[in-house]
Amino acid sequence: MSTWQQPCPPPASAERTALVKQIADRVAACGSGRLLVGIDGFTASGKTSFGHELAEEIARTGRPVLRASLDDFKRPWKDRHLYDRESGEGYYRNAYDYDAVKRLLLGPCRSPEAMQCALCSIDPLTQLDHSATETPLAADSMLIVDGVFAFRPEIDEYWDFRIWLDVDAELSVRRGAARDQDWAGSEAESIHRNRYLVAEHIYLDEADPLGRMDAVIDNSTFGHPRLVSATR
Helix (H) or strand (E) holding 107: helix 107-110
Which element (helix H / strand E) includes 12?
A: none
Q: Nearest 5°: phi and psi at 229?
A: -155, 155
| HEC readout, 161-206 | EEEEEECCHHHHHHHHHHHCHHHHHHHHHHHHHHHHHHHHHHHHHH
pLDDT band for position 184 (cuts 50, 70, 90): confident
The residues near 34 (Cβ < 8 Å, ≥ 6 apart) are: 109, 110, 112, 137, 139, 140, 141, 142, 143
8 Å CB contact between 66 and 119: yes
Q: In the predicted model, what is the mean pLDDT of residues 51-70?
A: 96
Percent of the chain with pLDDT strictly greater than 90: 87
- pLDDT of the residue at 183: 81
Q: Among residues 192, 188, 194, which one has the least CA distance to residue 173?
A: 192
Quick one: angle between helices 169-179 and 197-207, nearest 10? 140
Per-residue pLDDT for 130 more than 90? yes
172 — phi, psi (to 5°)?
-60, -45
User: From CA 47, how far away is CA 70, in angstroms rounded?
Assistant: 11
Q: List pLDDT tens digits, range 29-59.
A: 999 999 999 999 999 999 999 999 999 999 9
Question: How does pLDDT run across 132-149, given as a tens digit for each residue?
Answer: 999 999 999 999 999 999
Q: No. of H helices and E strands in the chain?
A: 9, 8
Average pLDDT over residues 4-10: 80
Mean of pLDDT values over 201-214: 97
Q: How far apart are CA 186 and CA 13, in angstroms?
A: 33
Can you give the pLDDT at residue 8? 85
For 23, which DSSP code?
H
Q: Which fold has domain 13-78+95-168+213-224?
A: Rossmann fold (3.40.50)
